[in-house]
Amino acid sequence: MTFQRVRRDDAWVDGRVVTGAEFARIDANLSAGINGDDGSSHAPSSPVVVAGAGAMATGVWVLSGTASVIVDESAAVPSQVVFGDSDYPTLLPGHPGRLRKLSMPLVGNLSNGDFDGSSRFPGARAVFPLDVHHGARFVSVTVAFEVTNAHGPVPDLPRFRVFALDVRGVSTSLLVGAPPSGFLPYSPRPPDPAPGGKSTWGPDGYLEDGVFIHYFVGTIVPNIVVDVERFTYWIDIIDESGPYANSGYPGLSGNAYFSAVTAFEDIADLRPQ
């Protein structure tokens, strides 16, 4: 809503005295206006509508509290938020958008035939590319797999290695606590039973949709910032083998590795990946 006029246009004529009340009204209207030089604060009782040629900002616009930017899709011509060729939204610390998880099926591996949806023999090995978020801090990798045939005693457990590979073919191990080989064995999480005190190894992980799923969770060493211009990122899996703890019993083939989930923090902006 615009300010109420003090007089109509035809009432402003030479020689007519401006009253004190009119000066007070003019002063009130001016003081309620936007101070384009020094800044000002406003709480309009109804929306401020800008039509015609619109508005342009070359400085910073800050929305705080419960403020929102709403694109009205009810208009006859849909509204749009348009960014220039070098513009993108940024995310301040604490914003939930700074966290992200990417899930990928474990297919398309480099295995020389060791894996075909599941392991073909004990100790089968496969390397899978990981989906990552450029510029974010790499936090963890979680692998879901199923031991399809219960057997015992427990074999040597599956092992996992996460690494970055540079353009020269040099790999860098990324898992916390990994030995020089880079491989960490599967370590059960509750309610997964610990294999050391068990007589069998098999369908006893997390029950999901009728299937018992085991999870390997690998923590990435601190302060690894993803850089896809210099590195590719991979997970290397060696399936169970044997014997576990010199039991003399070999592992079995057929374990199915379903997916890997990579987790990231400190995503600073929403630039396309």
Beta carbons of 200 and 192 less than 8 angstroms apart? no
Question: Quick one: pLDDT at residue 99?
Answer: 94
> Which of the residue ranges 102-111, 152-161, 203-212 would you say has the lowest mean pLDDT?
203-212
pLDDT band at 225 (very low <50, low <70, confident <90, very high): very high
- DSSP per residue over 134-188, as a string? TTSEEEEEEEEEE--S-BSS--BPPEEEEEEEETTS-EEE-BTT--TT--EE---
Domain chopping of the chain, boundaries? 96-265
- d(CA 193, CA 226) in angstroms, rounded, equals 34
- d(CA 93, CA 19) in angstroms, rounded, equals 55
pLDDT band at 153 (very low <50, low <70, confident <90, very high): low
82-114 residue pLDDT tens: 888 888 888 888 888 899 999 999 876 676 678
Question: Quick one: pLDDT at residue 123?
Answer: 85
44-77 residue pLDDT tens: 888 888 888 888 888 888 877 777 788 777 767 7
The fold of the 96-265 domain, in CATH, is Jelly Rolls (2.60.120)
Residue 192, classified by CB atoms within 10 Å of its CB into exposed (0-12), middle (13-18) or buried (19+), is middle
pLDDT band at 256 (very low <50, low <70, confident <90, very high): confident
Question: Quick one: pLDDT at residue 207?
Answer: 42
**What is the chain's percent helix, strand, coil content, to nearest 5?**
10, 30, 65
Strands 171-173 and 206-208: unpaired
